[in-house]
Amino acid sequence: MSLLSSRSGPPSPDGAPLPAQPLCVLALAFLVLFIDGYDLFTLGTVGPELLRHGAWGREITAGTLGMLGSATGIGMILGSAAAGRAGDRFGIRLPLVIALSVISVSMLLSALAPGLSVFVVARVLTGLGVGALAPLVGSFVTAHAPRRRRTLYIAVAMAALGLGGAASAYLGRALLPETDFRWLFAPGVLPLLLVPFLLRSLPQRRPSAADAPGDTGPAHRSRALLDQDRRRVTVLLWVASFMSIALIYSTSNWLPSVMLKAGYDLNSALEFSTAFTLGASVGTTALSLLADRGHLRVVTLAGFLLAAGALLALSTPQPRPVLLLLSALAGVGSLGTQSLVVGCMAASYPPQLIGTGMGFGLAVGRFGAIVGPSYLAAVTTWIASPKAGFYAFIMPAVFGAVAIAFLPRARASEQAQTQVPHAAAPAAAPDPH
């Protein structure tokens, strides 16, 4: 029997058997999202070499790079929405295998692309696959995580995205410019090696609550997100997701430049980037442990406010130790809060809607990845004050905090302890979907 199949283990307090191998589930999710992060950030890694590429030199401009990023983002939006519905409809295995296969094929196409048009198609396909993985893996981890460690498991799995991006950057530093930039897309084919393992390990879809009478399929689930009982929760979660991802992409793209404009030297900006990433990794774990103690809504709200406060403090010159501390806190409040928002999504829907809820929530959030950097570019261009960029960063954090503050308490915190997706499925049905 597969390590990832549910076997009868110690019962949970409500009498439902817990999965025997939650750490194996987490390891698989981490690996999948690591690959996801590598594929997502490779375009940024090769951007300078792409501009200088001899064969495409007449075609590629800075505007073209922006178009490629937008093409990837559009694919991610469509992939997130489709994957969430497919996961609730067919279970995790089939959509996850399809998403990994699409990513592998698209990365191979990127590595072999003879011209810009093929490369654009490859990036759209990459976006589709990358966008699909987050809600699929999120609902998979949610279903199999220990009841009181669900937010922590989601946070650890989501942290793999950043590590995959870092791996892309380090590989680019080692190989470029001596190596053709297209070779950096070749490792994206490796997910194909996981497909046979997933087909053997992930269970077939079994009847569950998603097949209850009156459920007419994906269209019904999509409408259920906005029915009278869930409309407020869904809209607030969409706002929080949008603001969270807009904050992440605006800070990661623009904060070092805004710091230089405000008078920080280049070394300070580079030290900020390091502290920002490390702080997010360590601080997110601490926030997740606190959230799993029944304080998910409060901790998520605090995460947004932490980002706002740290960014406000950075708008004035700070000594080096304080700068590094504030940078770490900004990382926790931006990168870390995204994991908490995903945890709120998992806690706010019944088991048969978790995949659809995450899919649409992350799809709406992906618009923030497109709007955020453009919004910062406009503010820093139109307003001459060196502090304007910092105030612009603060706005998404404040609006995200407001959305979480109005989230009904029972949805975000009490359900985190009482609504356990894997407990909803009978012991004979390993796949909770």
Q: Are residues 236 and 362 in the same domain?
A: yes
Could you list the residue range(s) of the whole structural domain that residue 310 is in? 223-418
Instruction: Flag whether 7 is in a domain.
Output: no
Print burial letters for 252-263: b (CB count within 10 Å at least 16), e (below 16).
bbbbbebbebbe
Residue 83 has pLDDT above 50, yes or no: yes
Residue 181 has pLDDT above 70, yes or no: yes
Angstrom distances, CA of residue 280 to CA of 28, 41, 377, 387 = 22, 18, 24, 24
Q: Are residues 162 and 285 in the same domain?
A: no
Half-sphere exposure of 26 (CA within 13 A, CB side): 17
Q: How far is CA 431 from the centre of its chain?
A: 23
Between CA 379 and CA 372 the distance in angstroms is: 11
Q: How confident is the model at residue 233 (pLDDT cuts 50, 70, 90)?
A: very high
Q: Are residues 156 and 260 in the same domain?
A: no
pLDDT 10s digits, 290-330:
888 888 899 999 999 999 999 899 888 888 888 888 888 88
Q: Are residues 144 and 248 in the same domain?
A: no
Residue 399 has pLDDT above 90, yes or no: yes
Residue 259 has pLDDT above 50, yes or no: yes
Q: Check residue 431 and give its pLDDT.
A: 32
Q: Check residue 205 and give its pLDDT.
A: 55
- For the chain, what is the domain count? 2
Q: How confident is the model at residue 266 (pLDDT cuts 50, 70, 90)?
A: low
Q: Check residue 269 and give its pLDDT.
A: 57
What mean pLDDT do residues 6-31 have?
Answer: 57
Print burial letters for 46-59: b (CB count within 10 Å at least 16), e (below 16).
bbebbeeeeebeee
Do residues 364 and 236 touch, judged by C-beta distance below 8 A? Answer: no
Do residues 163 and 278 touch, judged by C-beta distance below 8 A? Answer: no
Q: Are residues 362 and 336 in the same domain?
A: yes
What mean pLDDT do residues 263-273 have?
Answer: 65
Between CA 311 and CA 316 the distance in angstroms is: 10
- Name the range with the highest mean pLDDT among 8-17, 61-70, 356-365: 356-365
Q: Check residue 85 and give its pLDDT.
A: 78
* Helix or strand (DSSP H, E) at 60: none
Do residues 412 and 237 touch, judged by C-beta distance below 8 A? Answer: no
pLDDT 10s digits, 188-227:
898 888 888 888 777 665 434 444 434 445 556 667 888 8
Residue 16 has pLDDT above 50, yes or no: no
Q: Check residue 220 and give its pLDDT.
A: 63
- Reported pTM: 0.72
Residue 286 has pLDDT above 50, yes or no: yes
Q: Check residue 239 and give its pLDDT.
A: 95
Please give the mean pLDDT across all residues of the chain: 77
What mean pLDDT do residues 128-135 have?
Answer: 87
Residue in this structure with the two tokens 């792409």, named with its chain if needed: 50
Q: Are residues 199 and 227 in the same domain?
A: no
Q: Are residues 64 and 201 in the same domain?
A: yes
Instruction: Flag whether 40 is in a domain.
Output: yes
Q: Are residues 65 and 165 in the same domain?
A: yes
What mean pLDDT do residues 405-418 have?
Answer: 58
Q: Are residues 170 and 253 in the same domain?
A: no
Q: Are residues 181 and 243 in the same domain?
A: no
Q: Which of 143, 177, 205 is the last residue of a domain?
A: 205
Q: Which residues, 6 or more positions from 252, have their beta carbon under 8 angstroms from its beta carbon?
A: none
Q: Which of 160, 175, 205 is the last residue of a domain?
A: 205
Looking at residue 412, which CATH number applies to its domain?
1.20.1250.20
Residue 246 has pLDDT above 90, yes or no: no
Question: What percent of the chain is modeled with pLDDT above 90?
Answer: 15
Q: Check residue 301 and give its pLDDT.
A: 94
